[in-house]
Chains A and B, each alone.
Chain A
């Protein structure tokens, strides 16, 4: 507020000083002597100070004119209080003040009458002059409404400005205005009171901040600095090592597969989940009952999945002759199901589409689709693919007319074949409330088995077969029927053994190298 007041008080003096300047003192004459010759030649005889002095002399002239003005006008003037003495607005009342120059010009409109008006005024006879408005007829200033008072021009401070102007003898010392006085007057309140602050370019930072900055700089330097590569010898040796490992693995597997060796014994001990799956497909499923088989795996996993699933299906078809319904949320699932049922292992059962099995094809919609299928299978997947060796024949037939199933809970068992734990989770979650007490068996890839295992532990999955190991178990217990798993088993065992040897050998080698380096470092010390 204080600063505000000082600004307001300074403003009028600044403005007025620009309009009226005191007569040039002796210093100005001296200053004129310092003007360059070209400026002296170009400058008119009367400077701007003369003009402004003339402007300053204007008010008396205006006053003389006003004395010639009619009485009615003087009547207004006579009643007007001395605004200089008692300003309408106090210094701290208004936030905005009208421009001082504008107010002066407005005053001049009333005081300086144009020639034509003043001439006419003199020529007019005195009788035609209307009666002067007396003071009693004039509106009392105190009766003016507040909003009119607020609109009145403010000329407070004029006397002060006059005094300040008279004392303004600032002499310009530099530039084109050198030698002139009071051109850019330093108004009261704007003059510097102290030596200006000096600002340092140097960053003002604490030691901690500088330490942090240094740390950041160090980190950035580390990011941009090139990392020297290890010696080419190390890279060469590791590449050779990789090739060597791959060669050993490939050669071992190739040899075993070509020779069809049976060195390793096939597994005999069933895990509890595999035993449960065996019991379900062999004993629990009623004869000729409908079974839903879900084919949710990628074609790249065919080798492993079919190794695990074919013996189980072979056993189930052999023992229970179920009616199979295939469906998949994978676009390739229908094709894989068709390949599965026509594979050499199952082809002997001579299952026919539309009588013993129905391939419902692709089920769109993700989780929502699965949920819809579980709620209303016949409406969600109304058509089945016709059995045809031509893969591009998509002829559809009504699926549910000949099927013994109309609701999801009527499936005697659900067999989910998957290579993905998420796919298994989604099916388990969405059909949990719909399948009632009917068993759910999961045939999974070995990579998904650890994530599906908890569902078996919580009894949400009733049986589980995973990977080649369980496939070998089922093939062993499949009444001696042929299969591929026994052919793969030796190669699989060799591959697993090699992996164990590589990992353990690599670990031991690293350990030995570490011991050697430590010993060397100790010797150097």
Chain B
């Protein structure tokens, strides 16, 4: 086979070290000058259950998991339940080898741990191997690991075999291990790595590898990180020094990163009794003069609905992050979906006044989290960063320079004590913190403890001093002012230059067709655009991040510029397309939807297929992995 990239899948059970091994592997190859991108698949279990990570490696930029995989390292699930019986979850032990085998490219490589796995348990294995021209290496990784260390080091043995078969220089891996592993386990791991590598060289002809890792070079320093890392660093660089939260997958990653880093910068992290408290703490800390955040995933965010409304009514700046996973209810806790969009846009009673950004990449996540803080504190409004299990957990190389930015610890629209002296007060000395007629609707706030700044913050409608009032005149004045803030923010976000905009444009400007997506599917859609244009179609894409206020003008302009557009999203009810039509009030005949909600994110080839079958051939998909919803024009 001739492939210019490696898509390496390491598969085992939860507890087999899949995440750490794949992370080290990816980082080693990034250091070697290559572009890397990972995709994680794991069950909601502590031990056992089919788990894999794919590391896609290329000399050129990669923006998605890619299509299928061409190299399988099947460790087997050493924590499998009832491996010999016909259990509810099937034969778990063999799954790392048997699951998704159809997605292994023709001519691909299989390494499996013969210490644990017996392919005769897989139907027609030998025939399929022959048919697909797969190169199979049965290696007793378990014995190798046991001999020099512990059984879990099977993964290192597998990496050694991988390197030998793909031409990866061992020193890259060794160097990484030295920086990532504690002394005690380093030595046996290095031994196992070399033993496996040498064994392959001795016993097999590897001069002509089946899948070769390309060589590459970065033109600037790279870092390997996830969307969760980027969100946390964005928050820290905006001066966020307070977080409150309650664990929930996949939001826990941001919470963990913040909790580990905050003490080093004199910040405070609070793990509290529930998500209602978490959001309320963030509001309390912000009110008292700290830059604060909280967050959760679907169900936990549902509990934050009421505090969110309190922040809107009291105009307390706060940033919440929402890491989507498949719902409703507990849904599929470790699987990505984008179906919390409407939940996040509209939850909590009354007319909502909030900001929602849905970044498409780690770099965007960093920038947009910063912007979310900046706007929250300037405009005294809650901002939400909406992402998902995919963006949060996938690792990719990003230029380090993206993060080489100055911090912004500004509390935004606040007054100092000196400024408070000249600020308007009631006759009895209360600071008019919620003045009716102010620029952009923003009335600067005082902070408790400041002399001359006292006021009442309340979730009730209130007068300029903050006192509860149901006067119709005051109500209209206050609500109009709060709404006015959203319009001012819309104007601030609406940049005339496409480079500065949160929306990401890709492909030839004069293309006939458009693909529109939001959040984490952006990179996948862009890769589909490349393939579609190679296939002779004329296609461009738009990745939307500004969900509220919605990027009306930019999206409308994009739709106007194409004959037809396919909206790609991980929801079952086309929520994003619905948002566009609600906001724009038009284009029902131009927009159709490609939906996927089976727990796996789109692969580029699926977007290509969805476009070609439905838009070009006007036909129907002959499987149920995805769903097509035609436009009103069809």
Q: Do A and B come from one complex?
A: no
